[in-house]
């Protein structure tokens, strides 16, 4: 019997909104993101029958490719998936086109406009367009201007722009980029993407908090003693040294993905589920966030970098040995920091945030630790009772887990911790979609709920800009601590918590 029939939780699982006929234009179509994430996500939407038949994907980049070369490259990117879905691929590929475009050349924009009109005729895409800027961040502003000058953003109902991260390099540059893009169109045409917001489990934090009554009453400083937010990766910098050298973990992961997890975990309940209500609350809580020690940030922020490791037989290169990395680089591949949120709900609760590459495990999670029982009536198995924890597992093993004390079986009255679990996979019987699947669909639906608004991005940069300036001006004050690959990062990061009598969770 199929799982669809046996699992009642799957009934009505795919009740999706309808994407209108349109052409998605990807600038940077020859790049890494297009073949690793964007086209696989679009093909997934196609297989789920979520793309309208009047859909076209126009790839644009400077390379002089033809439609055929573009289709072939995308087929190579999808690899095995195509073998299993030959027919679907042939139909999907018929809607793939390519146009060589340099966004800096006005004549190329004229060519592009004509090509889009031709695609409208061919595929009935009705001048409805989503432009995706997957280009170098330095071209985000000029790219938007080029589209606006060519008249391609003039209809707010039929044109929108998706902008990849990083949106700016600090507070001032994010502000000026916002000014530029807002001069090109309306805020509701601008979709600043953060793929963590597309993850099922990050959205689940909202549902868990605001669709239940059991969590919200205890979701505050009266019951929660600390929060840890982790995004750990086992991979290194891979082929992205060029970008990563000027970015580092703070700009690459903390300012966006970790801060979005922080905002969703800590925001106030929105009055209704609509994009503005949600984004108002996220922006508001980020404005109340601050480094734990603003005067001496080195007390609340630790930077690390992975050193050579592995075994003699299977050595692992250190960050400085990676191709394209400066052998004396001081770019951080690990950051841990402590933050506070100065509002009524969170005053005094420490938030410990960490991320790093080449760590012991691939793991993203939010861990809420609750205050201990005021009186210890029972002996505990481990000497003292463990504090209750709610663990929101973002990835892998998407789900959530409660930890609490129960009576140990037997004649005594000893307590010991146990776990109660919810797993997406076990409950719903199908893997969650990649973040990009959800976000591409939402952008094409013109739904900005899961995209960051201008004030949110600025509030996030405002939070970290003092650290970035300190690293720039006096790097010795935030030194790089080397750490061995496949560990949990530098020992100095443990001190950050040990000073508060705590430990990082090591699952």
Closest to ligand BG6 by CB, 102 vs 233, is 233
Is residue 322 involved in binding ligand BG6 (CB under 6 A)? no
String marking each residue 347-366 x if it binds ligand BG6 according to CB under 6 A? -----------------x--
Please, which of residues 36-95 interact with ligand BG6 by CB under 6 A? none
Closest to ligand BG6 by CB, 44 vs 252, is 252
Hey, is 274 helix, strand or coil?
Answer: coil
Q: Is 62 annotated as a binding residue?
A: yes
Helix ranges restricted to H, 274-367: 275-288
Please measure the distance between the N-terminal and C-terminal CA atoms of the chain and give it in whole angstroms.
Answer: 36
Residue 202 Cβ, how far from ligand BG6 at the closest point, in Å? 10
Closest to ligand BG6 by CB, 116 vs 205, is 205
**Residue/partner pairs of 311-316 with CB below 8 Å, 24 or more apart:** 316/236, 316/358, 316/485, 316/486
- Closest to 92 in 3D by CA, of 133, 52, 60: 52
- Closest to 65 in 3D by CA, of 21, 31, 24: 31
Please, which of residues 240-259 interact with ligand BG6 by CB under 6 A? 252
Residue 326 phi, psi dihedral angles, 5° rounding: -60, 125
Closest to ligand BG6 by CB, 248 vs 297, is 248
Q: Which residues pair with 26 in a beta bridge?
A: 59, 132
Percentages helix, strand, coil for the chain (3-state, rounded to 5) are 40, 20, 35
Please, which of residues 363-382 interact with ligand BG6 by CB under 6 A? 364
Question: E strand or H helix at 418, and its extent?
Answer: strand 414-423
Q: Is 199 annotated as a binding residue?
A: yes
Closest to ligand BG6 by CB, 120 vs 164, is 164
Residue 333 Cβ, how far from ligand BG6 at the closest point, in Å? 9
53: Cβ contacts below 8 Å, ≥ 6 apart: none
Residue 364 Cβ, how far from ligand BG6 at the closest point, in Å? 6
The DSSP secondary-structure symbol of 252 reads I
Closest to ligand BG6 by CB, 61 vs 249, is 249
Q: Work out the burial of residue 505: count CB atoms within 10 Å of its CB; fewer than 13 is exposed, 13-18 middle, 19 or more buried.
A: middle
- Closest to 226 in 3D by CA, of 117, 346, 143: 346
With CB atoms as reference, the residue minimizing the distance to ligand BG6 is 252
Q: Is 357 annotated as a binding residue?
A: yes
Residue 482 Cβ, how far from ligand BG6 at the closest point, in Å? 19
Tell which one of 102, 187, 233, 433 touches ligand BG6 (CB under 6 A): 233
**Residue/partner pairs of 400-407 with CB below 8 Å, 24 or more apart:** 400/204, 400/208, 405/378, 405/380, 407/378
- Closest to 38 in 3D by CA, of 13, 83, 74, 84: 74
Q: Is 165 annotated as a binding residue?
A: yes
Return the number of other C-beta atoms located less than 10 Å from residue 441's C-beta: 22
Residue 259 Cβ, how far from ligand BG6 at the closest point, in Å? 12
Closest to ligand BG6 by CB, 168 vs 350, is 168
Residue 199 Cβ, how far from ligand BG6 at the closest point, in Å? 7
Question: E strand or H helix at 414, and its extent?
Answer: strand 414-423
Q: Is 252 annotated as a binding residue?
A: yes
Residue 334 Cβ, how far from ligand BG6 at the closest point, in Å? 12
Q: Is 102 annotated as a binding residue?
A: yes
**Which residues does the annotation mark as catalytic?**
257
- Kindly state the number of chain residues that form the binding site for ligand BG6, as judged by CB under 6 A: 3
Contact at 8 Å (CB) between 366 and 351? Answer: no
Sequence ranges of the binding site for substrate: 195, 199, 233, 252, 357
Contacts with ligand BG6, residue ranges (CB under 6 A): 233, 252, 364
Sequence ranges of the binding site: 62, 102-103, 165, 195, 199, 233, 252, 357
């Amino acid at each position: 019997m199929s799982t669809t029939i046996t699992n009642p939780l799957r009934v009505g699982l795919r009740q999706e909104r309808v994407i209108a006929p349109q052409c998605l234009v990807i600038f940077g179509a020859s790049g890494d993101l297009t073949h690793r994430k964007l086209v696989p996500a679009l093909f997934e939407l196609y297989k789920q029958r979520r793309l309208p038949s009047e859909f076209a994907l126009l790839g644009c980049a400077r390379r002089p490719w033809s439609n055929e070369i573009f289709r072939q490259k995308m087929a190579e990117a999808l690899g095995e998936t195509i073998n299993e879905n030959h027919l679907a691929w042939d139909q999907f590929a018929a809607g793939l086109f390519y146009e060589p475009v340099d966004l800096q050349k006005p004549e190329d924009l004229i060519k592009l406009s004509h090509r889009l009109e031709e695609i409208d005729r061919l595929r009935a895409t009705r001048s409805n367009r989503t432009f995706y800027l997957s280009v170098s961040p330095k071209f985000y502003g000029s790219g938007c201007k080029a589209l606006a000058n060519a008249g391609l953003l003039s209809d707010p109902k039929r044109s929108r722009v998706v902008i990849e991260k990083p949106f700016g390099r600090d507070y001032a540059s994010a502000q000026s980029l916002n000014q530029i893009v807002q001069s090109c169109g309306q805020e509701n045409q601008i979709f600043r993407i953060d793929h963590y917001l597309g993850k099922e489990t990050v959205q689940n934090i909202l549902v868990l908090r605001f669709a239940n009554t059991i969590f919200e009453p205890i979701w505050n400083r009266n019951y929660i003693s600390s929060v840890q937010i982790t995004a750990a990766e086992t991979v290194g910098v891979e082929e992205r040294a060029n970008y990563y050298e000027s970015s580092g973990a703070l700009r690459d992961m903390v300012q966006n993905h970790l801060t979005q997890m922080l905002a969703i975990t800590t925001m106030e309940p929105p009055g209704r589920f609509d994009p503005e209500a949600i984004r108002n609350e996220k922006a508001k809580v980020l404005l109340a966030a601050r480094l734990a020690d603003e005067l001496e940030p080195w007390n609340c922020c630790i930077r690390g970098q992975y050193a050579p490791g592995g075994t003699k037989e299977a050595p692992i290169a250190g960050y400085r040995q990676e191709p394209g990395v400066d052998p004396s680089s001081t770019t951080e591949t690990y950051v841990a920091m402590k933050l506070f949120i100065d509002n009524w709900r969170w005053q005094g609760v420490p938030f410990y945030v960490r991320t790093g590459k080449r760590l012991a495990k691939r793991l993203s999670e939010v861990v809420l630790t609750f205050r201990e029982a005021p009186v210890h009536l029972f002996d505990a198995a481990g000497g003292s009772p463990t504090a209750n924890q709610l663990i929101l597992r973002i990835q892998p093993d998407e789900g959530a887990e409660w930890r609490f004390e129960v009576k140990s079986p037997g004649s005594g009255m000893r307590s010991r911790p146990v776990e109660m679990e919810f797993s997406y996979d076990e409950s719903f019987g199908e893997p969650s979609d990649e973040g990009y699947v959800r976000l591409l669909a939402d952008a094409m639906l013109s739904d900005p709920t899961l995209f960051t608004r201008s004030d949110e991005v600025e509030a996030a940069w405002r939070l970290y800009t003092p650290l970035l300036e300190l690293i720039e001006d006096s790097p010795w004050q935030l030194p790089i601590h080397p750490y061995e690959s496949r560990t949990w990062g530098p020992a100095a990061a443990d001190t950050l918590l040990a000073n508060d009598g705590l430990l990082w969770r090591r699952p």
